[in-house]
Amino acid sequence: DIVMTQSPDSLAVSLGERATISCWSSQSVFFSSNNKNYLSWYQQKPRQPPKLLISWASTRESGVPDRFSGSGSGTYFTLSISSVQAEDVAVYYCQQYYGTPYTFGQGTKLEI
Amino acid sequence: EVQLVEWGGGLVKPGGSLRLSCAASGFTFSTYSMNWVRQAPGKGLEWVSSISSRSDYIFYADSVKGRFTISRDNARNSLYLQMNSLRAEDTAVYYCARDYCTSASCYYYFDSWGRGTLVTVSS
């Protein structure tokens, strides 16, 4: 199984500050035949289902504010929020879809 | 608008069974692979099972293999999860989630989620 590990477990930032969450995979999730990283990011606000933010490590979903960005390749990835807003308070998860079982990181709780 | 609505959760004793359902609307259900993902109280997300659009590919997490069965009815736009031999550690909110699919292929990340249904396994 591919183990996904996030850091930190929780993160407190001030409004307008930059937040960065790291995600490591225990093996590469880069598929050379199509040059893509099989890595997604989700946001889960309290009492809500998860929401897809980013796929393919860096492709922002339609409607997601451009302050959210994803980067990385192979086994190391980051989710950045350039200027944190109050509505960004949530738990953030990375997920690999390179192979079954499709595994998630343990989550990072973002607080203001 | 894509909608996924789960139901069928509840309180069940260890060793018991439960069948979850998910009604899909707002998209062509028969062309998408679908999943169940669960979240234990206060915990993270755990993928449970996937089923391809025509039910020809089915995958399970090791934690539920042999106890849970995923199925779908494309005529009814519905996804199911039959859960047998339930354990306390199966207690969770169960989400129905749609894979991202193009006309050519589906990829196992989840672009739409239902609100979930709570399953509690306790004596």
User: What tens digit of pLDDT does each residue of A10-44 get?
Assistant: 999 999 999 999 999 999 999 999 899 999 999 99
Return the DSSP state at A104: B
Q: How far apart are CA A26 and CA A51, in angstroms?
A: 24
Give me the total of CB pairs closer than 8 Å, taking one residue from chain A and one from chain B.
Answer: 57
pLDDT confidence of residue B23: 98
Asked if A29 contacts A40 with a C-beta cutoff of 8 angstroms, the reply is no
Q: How far apart are CA B29 and CA B2, in angstroms?
A: 10
Q: What type of residue sits at position B70?
A: I
Name the residue facing A50 among B50, B100, B113 (closest C-beta).
B113
Tokens 């889960």 appear where? A44
Q: How far apart are CA B47 and CA B40, in angstroms?
A: 12
pLDDT confidence of residue A28: 96
Asked if B78 contacts B21 with a C-beta cutoff of 8 angstroms, the reply is yes
Q: Give the angle subtended at the CA of A51 by the CAs of B60 and B119, to the nearest 5°.
A: 50
Whole-number CA gyration radius for chain A: 13
Please state, as a whole number, how many other Cβ atoms lie within 10 Å of the Cβ of residue A33: 5
Q: How far apart are CA A25 and CA B9, in angstroms?
A: 33
Task: Report cis status (omega within 30 of 0) of the bond before A46.
Answer: no
Q: How far apart are CA A15 and CA A21, in angstroms?
A: 16
Please count the residues of chain A: 112
Q: What is the pLDDT along chain B (123 residues), one digit of tens a residue?
A: 999 999 999 999 999 999 999 999 999 999 999 999 999 999 999 999 999 999 999 999 999 999 999 999 999 999 999 999 999 999 999 999 999 988 888 888 999 999 999 999 999
pLDDT confidence of residue B105: 86
Please state, as a whole number, how many other Cβ atoms lie within 10 Å of the Cβ of residue A5: 12
Over residues A46-91, the pLDDT tens digits come to 999 999 999 999 999 999 999 999 999 999 999 999 999 999 999 9
Contact B113 A49 (CB under 8 A): yes
Name the residue facing B44 among A97, A101, A104 (closest C-beta).
A104
Chain B residue with Cα closest to A91: B44
Extract the tokens encoding B102. Answer: 């193009």
Q: CB of B109 within 8 Å of any CB in chain A?
A: yes
Contact A104 B45 (CB under 8 A): yes
Please count the residues of chain B: 123
